[in-house]
Amino acid sequence: MPRNPAILPFAATLVGVALFSLMDALMKGGSIAVGAYSALLVRSLLGMVLTVPAWALRRRWPARPALKLHLLRGFSGAAMAFTFFWGIARLPLAEAIALSFTAPLLALGLAAALLRERIGRNAWAAGLLGIAGVALIAGVRMEAPQAQSGWGIAAVLLSSLLYAWNLILQRQQALVAAPLEVAAFQNSIYSLALLPFAPWFLIWPAAGTLGTIGGAAVLAVAAAMILSWAYARAEAQALVPLEYSGFLWAALFGWLLFGETVVPTTLAGAVLIVAGCALAAPRKRTEQTAT
């Protein structure tokens, strides 16, 4: 057992964010190949296959408050995911992630309004450090956007608004449902929201692309369960700034998979982002809200 068990939710959040970042990279490839709608629907259907049977064997139907949260997060999350994947197909991955980091700062305010959490000085300072790092990194790219970048930027910013709410719903959901239930309902509701449009927009992926999207589905399920575990054990205001670490992974995966360059301003911004994550980490034992 670690000397400071309170650090475990923070370590788990960092792992979950890293897995989600790799999933984003795979989904960018899938979205370029068959479109954001088809990539997201196929990923959600595969996620259902991975999670629903295991949940059905072990769990009862959720109570009404939990079901309401599943529906809220599922439908809002489907819109959030679609706009994000549509946007990253038109932007460098690291820059898209940088734009999405407007969400955690919004989520700090939502945590106070919706969860009655008191926002401490460290949480605000961590958020501001992260935003400063993002501004430094994204500013250079945004000075001269390419032809489709404008629409991509708009899509990612819309996704970030939905993501801010999603972070708060994630905390509320984690307090009333186990990680497997969260993952099963999230994939099921994503699929339910997207399936009606299949006759017009679905392009079934070729074998190679299907394997890429399948890998994204596995990563999405694993990351969702890890983050659900973490958000059940620490306040949203403390975990939200750790979302900024996703930029570091996005820069790496963008470079490895798509040849997207990492410039000196990216490294300088990364220092600010990591500083914000360090500042957000607790100095004392976090209240245990679930087991």
- pLDDT per residue as tens digits for the range 171-214: 788 888 888 888 899 999 999 999 999 999 999 999 999 999 99
Residue 20 in domain: yes
Residue 250 identity (one-letter amino acid) = A
Domain of residue 144 covers: 5-280
Residue 206 in domain: yes
Alpha carbons 238 and 232: distance in angstroms, whole number = 12
Better pLDDT: 272 or 117:
272
Residue 240 has pLDDT above 80, yes or no: no
The per-residue pLDDT of the chain, averaged, comes to 83
Residue 207 in domain: yes
Better pLDDT: 244 or 284:
244
Better pLDDT: 98 or 73:
73
Could you tell me the two tokens for 277?
């994550």
Residue 289 in domain: no
Q: According to the model, what pLDDT value does residue 35 have?
A: 96
Phi, psi of 244 (to 5 degrees): -65, -25
Across residues 23-48, what is the average pLDDT? Answer: 96
Q: According to the model, what pLDDT value does residue 258 have?
A: 93
Residue 106 in domain: yes
Judging by beta carbons within 10 Å of its beta carbon (0-12, 13-18, 19+), is residue 118 exposed, middle or buried? exposed
pTM above 0.95, yes or no: no
Q: According to the model, what pLDDT value does residue 18 have?
A: 95
Across residues 227-256, what is the average pLDDT? Answer: 85
Which pLDDT band, with edges at 50, 70 and 90, does 31 fall under? very high
Q: According to the model, what pLDDT value does residue 215 have?
A: 97
Better pLDDT: 125 or 227:
227
Alpha carbons 74 and 68: distance in angstroms, whole number = 10
Lowest mean pLDDT among 59-63, 102-106, 226-230, 257-261: 102-106
pLDDT digits (tens, 9 = 90+) for 101-111: 777 666 666 66
Closest to 202 in 3D by CA, of 35, 48, 6, 74: 35
Residue 65 has pLDDT above 80, yes or no: yes
Q: According to the model, what pLDDT value does residue 28 have?
A: 96
Q: According to the model, what pLDDT value does residue 288 have?
A: 38
Q: According to the model, what pLDDT value does residue 71 have?
A: 94
Across residues 73-102, what is the average pLDDT? Answer: 89
Q: According to the model, what pLDDT value does residue 144 have?
A: 54
Could you tell me the two tokens for 145?
């956007």
Most distant pair of Cα atoms in the chain: their distance? 55
Residue 286 in domain: no
Residue 210 in domain: yes
Better pLDDT: 56 or 81:
81
Alpha carbons 266 and 264: distance in angstroms, whole number = 5
Q: Could you give the number of structural domains in the chain?
A: 1
Q: According to the model, what pLDDT value does residue 210 have?
A: 96
Residue 290 in domain: no
Q: According to the model, what pLDDT value does residue 291 have?
A: 33
